[in-house]
A = this chain, B = another copy of it.
Amino acid sequence: MFQHDIPAPFLLGTLDMQRHHAEAIFERAERIERQFAGLRTSELFQELAGKTVVNLFYENSTRTRTSFEIAAKRLGAMVINMDVATSSVGKGETLLDTAATLNAMQPDFLVIRHPFAGAPKLLARKVQASVINGGDGTHEHPTQALLDAYTMRKHLGKDLSNRVIVIAGDIRHSRVARSNIWLLTRLGARVRVVAPPTLLPGEMGQFGVDLFYDMRKAVEGADVVMMLRLQRERMQGVFLPSQSEYFRYFGLSDTVLARAKPHALVMHPGPMNRGVEIETSVADLEGRSVIEEQVHMGVITRMAIFSVLAEQRRLVAENRSEELMA
């Protein structure tokens, strides 16, 4: 998770993530789950005791912010939420000056969500904290991809090779789709993306995925069907004819799901638009829908990410960086 121009271990995306890095996070998550098992949630982990985590969110996302906050606090960290909408950024301060200010307060981890692709990387070059990308524009959302893959592994086994995974919806604008595509193909899965042509540019083919414009065909024989949230602003006008037509051709109904493998998983990063991209009966389908489990695995995976990065920071501090980079 290093680049020579970035001072600290980080998690910026899945595009450049090596497979063994992802595996290290999954294994750490398994260890954390074992530690929880048999114990009450009251069990205190102390791995991040005395560490400071700053949640720097330039876009509102109570859901994601809360997941990071719980993960960090369950590891004993102190968490500072920075409400950037009302902060000095509003006073015209540049991201780099904000970075310098934050750096001077010496946090250990900096979780950033930002509307512009690349903002987390820009930040990572300027701070000693380990930067975690909590979503940047339409670019990456790596922790979502890691928790999705971790959830799949629990149901399909550790080896996702040749598993058929369908990602359906607004591929064009989705950072969840991008991070999932890059991670899942790295893990050997066969990824299909499906959307109306306006939401699925042909260039996506270069990422080693199969493009579909017909939902029924895409779902045929799938192990996983991952639905993306349709942003309201796409529902009218340029990209889509109408909401009901979208559901008819690209929504996930029982009929469509019937074309997947008998035990295919239904996934969604949330929050769902029931009746828009996914039918309620499918969203709540016992034994198939793992949507709530994704949220639970989100906390576990983020704990694992903090834990692995904290370990790397300790190694770096102990001047064993050569060993680590090997």
Contact = CB atoms under 8 A, between A and B. Distances in A.
Contact of A42 (B51, B92, B291): B51
B41 A50 contact: yes
A274 interface: yes
Interface of A: 40-44, 49-52, 54, 60-63, 66-67, 69-70, 73-74, 78, 80, 82-84, 86-88, 90-94, 97-98, 100-101, 103-108, 232, 270-274, 291-296, 298-299, 317
A88 B61 contact: yes
A43 B91 CA distance: 34
B41 A52 contact: yes
Contacts of A298: 104-105
Given A40-B317, A62-B84, A88-B270, 14 more contacts: A41-B50, A44-B50, A52-B70, A52-B73, A60-B86, A62-B83, A70-B80, A93-B270, A93-B271, A93-B272, A101-B295, A104-B298, A105-B296, A105-B298
B295 A63 contact: no
Nearest to A104: B295
B41 A62 contact: no
